[in-house]
Each structure stands twice: as C-alpha cells, then as structure tokens.
Structure 1
Amino acid sequence: MQIRPLSLLGLLLPIISVQANVEKTIFLAPPASTIPSKEPSLDDLGVERLSPQNSVVRTRLNASFPTTAASQGSDSWFFLENLNPGQRYEVRVCWLSIQPTSFTLTTYPLSQTIEDTALLSSLSVYTAARLATIDSQLQEDAIPRRAGSPREMKSLDTAPSSDSVLFLRVHAAADYFSTNKTLMREVPPVAVDLILDPFLFNVFPRSLVPTAGWILVVTVLSVVLGRWIVGEVGRVIDDARRQRSLEEMKNK
C-alpha cells in the first residue's frame, strides 16, 4: 500500500520542478496588418524575432527587484512574425532554477504598441539600451530580414508588407533574498530560452505531440499488460480451486 503514494509522488516531482521553471502566455494570431517600410523601421529596433520558422531564442534577460515605478521588474521586448492569422500559439520562457525569477509575458498588436505612449516609451528605452550594447558593425544585422533575392529585398525596402505580427513584452522580476549584498544590489542577467509553439487544430501544442505519443503507447501497453496479469492471476486462482476440490474428493 505504501508503494503507490511513493510512486505517485515520484511522478509529481518532475512536473512540479518543470512548472517552477516555465512561464507562458497563450494567444490567437491577429489578422495580417500592414507594416510600413518607412521610419521608424522595425529593422532598426534591435529586438530579436520569433517565428514558426525560427521558434527558439536563447538569450539573457535583465531582471531587477520590483519597485514602485517598475512593479514587475525589468522589461524586454521581442517581435513575433510570420504567424498564421487565427491560429493559437503559446510563448514559453524557460530558465534555470538557480536563478529564481518571476516572469510575466504579454503580447500586443503592432498598432497598439505604436499608439500607446507607455508601451512605445518602454519599447524605445529597451531598444536604445540594446542597440548601445551591439557593436556598430553588427547593428545592421540586429534583426535579419527575410531571405530572398536582391529584387525582393529592394521591394521590401520600398513598399509596405503585410504580415500577422505581435510584440512580446517580458517582465523579469528577481524573486530571491540573499545575504550577499552584491546580489541584492545588482541582479545578474537571467539565461532563458524563449519558445514559440503553435497549437495543432488550436487544441494541442505541437511540441507536446511526441510526449502525447509516448503517453498513448505507455497507456496501451499498461492496459494490455494489466489484462494479461489479471488473466494470469485468475488462472492461478482457478487452478488452486480445482486442486483443492480434487483433494477434498480424495479425502472423502
């Protein structure tokens, strides 16, 4: 009887540890919108991009302790592009347990980001700080444009494009206390993986399909094995009953 609770605890512990290191937001991709090629150009912002073709970004995010002015810590911005309008997606941020951090992920349409003064100010501050840390020779490649022929690239430069896009804002707040004064004064950047994961039929995250497959296989094998065990136990019981009946008849 004691094995079952321990086995259940063993199954729950990995789940708990994974949840402690993952935060996500789920959203529907908006309709395609027109992206102007004139200033301010998205290629000049310096933010990293996520798309179904480039679904993982490994980076370091600045974090800070919550304050009155920044109750959710430090801001980081990313650009989600090439989305399929109406499809459900999730963006996950994964980080190490040795860096306790509280993350909040929020997506914003392009128009809202540009029109909202607070959002645009936050984006501007982030991009200015990020571009200042990028070598001037590499700033042109801060956000690579889509691959294509020189004619296509020129067309992209001179005409608006249409795409389903969103801005992703990530708040990172330090979530620890330490006797180390340096750690309390200067929060180190947090190593993270940002993952864009589309839903299949708007129901199930695509990245979980292999896991679901393994669960299905294990479930089928468990049912087959369980039925075999039940049959074998029943056979042993029946044999024992027949043997006992034979012995009773002999004794009579």
Structure 2
Amino acid sequence: MRVLAGLLCTVTLACTVKANVEKTVFRGPGDLLLPHVHPRLDALRLGSLSHAHPVLPTQLPAHFPSRAAPRGLESWYLLQRLEAARRYEVRICWPATQPTDFWLDTFTVRDVFDTPGLVKSLTQYSEHHQQFHLSESEHYEPAQSATAQSVLLLRIQAAASYYSTNRTLMEHPEPVDVDITNAPVLDPFLLNILPQSLAPFAAYFTVVAIGAWFLSGYIFHWIDSVASEPLLKPHSD
C-alpha cells in the first residue's frame, strides 16, 4: 500500500508540474566557426545557456494572442557549447498564478539568418527588449570565439491565457516569472535515451520495483503455506 500510495503521489505531482512546464528536445548541431557568422551574435547580446550556466531565472514579456501575433511575444536566447549529435532537453517553468501558453523552438544560426521572418524577430527582440542591458539574473557570454562550437538559437513565444476585469492588465499583461529551465537547463540524454536529471529517479524506482517484486513473492508464498496447513479438529467433550 505504501508503494502504491507513493506511486499515486508521484503521478499527481507529475500532472501538477506538467501544467506549468513546457519543453523541447533537440540534438546539438555540427560545430560552427562563429566569427564567420554575420551579423555577429555578440552584437545581439542574447542571454545564454550552457553547462557552466545551466539555470536562467528571468521575466519574459507576454501578450494576448492577436491576428498579427497568434502566439504572443517572442524572446530569443543562445544555447552554447553543445555536443554535436547529442540529445538535449530545454524546459521552461512558470508559476500557476501567471497563466501563460509557451512555445519553444530551436534553430541553427544559418536557418535563422537565412529566413527573413526569423532574423527580423531576432533583431527586434535584441533592439526593443534587451537594449544591451541584461537583467541581473541573466547571464551573457560573448558568443564569438576563435574555435568552432555547436550552438543553437532558442525562440520562446509567450501568450497570456487569462481574463481580467482590469483593463490595464488586459492591455499590458505583466511579464511572466520563469526559470529556463528546472536545473539543468540543458539536460543531456544518457545513451541518447534517458535525461540525465531523471537518472537518480529512474534508479530509485528500479530498486523499489525489484524490492516490491521479491517482497510480494515472499508474502504470496507465506499466505499460500498458511492456507495449505490442515485445520485442527475441535476437541470432543
């Protein structure tokens, strides 16, 4: 019963977290010599995520869906120092008190700079939202390097999903407090199968399952032996 209760609790917590977590899974691209990329990434001064700086708490601007922007406002970040062909997972977590819909997409640098719509969005975000001043919680790491590295651009779209009688709030939704993501931000996959951050939980549940298997077998044999014992005849007066 304790094992069953624990599993039910885990399922309940998982469902609760799922309501406030969005993620994307991707593979690290091939190495790219950044100094040959134009426009220069360091000029955009994007917040960056890497193994050295895996957690990025920040505030993301959001807006209600419109015909021009059905997924709200867009924010851009740089995923650096990836391993080519290795799978990663980026997650974004936010409080339930700020109902918001998020979409996460990753793009190679070439794909962004070769697509007018994407490069326009990236440039507008850099100009209007960053203004070359990162918040204290955001980490900026110069993107240009003399050595090639595997990098991706992360686009986050945020659309407010609530209704309020406050007209000001409906016209200008407040920024959403987020963690990109629940440490680590870049979650490598072990053997390209299991996220590294879930490995301890997988090991724990494996041990519990094996223990429960042997314990249930012992209990079954004990009950079977008790049930098969002959009943003692009552004493005659």
Q: Give the alignment's TM-score, normalised by structure 2.
A: 0.86
Find the aligned partners of 1:223 and 1:82 in 2 and give their Cα distance.
Answer: 43
Q: Tell me what 2:176 maps to.
A: 190
Give the superposition deviation at 1:182: 2.9
User: Which one-letter code corresponds to 1:226 in the other structure?
Assistant: S
Q: Distance in 1 between matches of 2:32 and 2:165?
A: 50
1:178 aligned onto 2:164 = yes
The 8 Å contact of residues 90 and 198 in structure 1, kept in 2 or not, is answered as: yes
Q: Alpha-carbon deviations, 1:9-31, whole Å to 9, x = none?
A: 65532221111111111111111
TM-score by length of 1: 0.81
3-state SS in 1 of match to 2:84: coil
Q: Distance in 2 between matches of 1:172 and 1:219?
A: 40
The 5-angstrom pairing of residues 52-201 of structure 1 reads 52-132=51-131, 134=133, 143-145=140-142, 156=145, 160-194=146-180, 195-201=185-191
Alpha-carbon distance between aligned partners in 2 of 1:145 and 1:133, rounded to the nearest angstrom:
13
Measure, in 1, the Cα distance between the counterparts of 2:42 and 2:7: 50
Instruction: For 1:226-237, list aligned pairs within 5 A.
Output: 226-237=216-227
Q: Deviations along 1:82-102, whole A, 9 cap, x unmatched?
A: 111111111111111111111
What is the root-mean-square deviation in Å for CA atoms of aligned residues?
2.9
> What one-letter code is carried by the residue in structure 2 that aligns with 1:20?
A
Point out where structure 2 has 5 or more consecutive residues left out of the alignment.
none
2:178 is the alignment partner of 1:225: no
Identity %: 37
Counterpart secondary structure, 2:33: strand
Q: Is the 8 A contact 1:46 1:130 kept in 2?
A: no
Partner Cα distance (2:71, 2:6) in 1: 38
Aligned pair count reads 230
Decide whether aligned partners of structure 1 residues 219 and 59 sit closer, same or farther in structure 2, where only a CA change above 3 A counts.
same
Unaligned 5+ segments in structure 1 are: 147-152
1:232-243 to 2 correspondences below 5 Å: 232-238=222-228, 241-242=229-230
| Cα-to-partner distance string for 1:200-241 (whole Å, 9 max, x where unaligned) | 111111111111111112112211221222133223223xx3
Would the aligned equivalents of 1:33 and 1:165 in 2 still touch at CA under 8 Å?
yes
Whichever of the two has the greater Rg, that structure is 1
Check if 1:46 corresponds to 2:45.
yes
Structure 1 outlier segments of 4+, above 3 Å: 5-12, 37-40
Give distance in 1, aligned partners of 2:163 and 2:5: 32
Contact 1:46/1:142, CA 8 A, preserved across alignment:
no
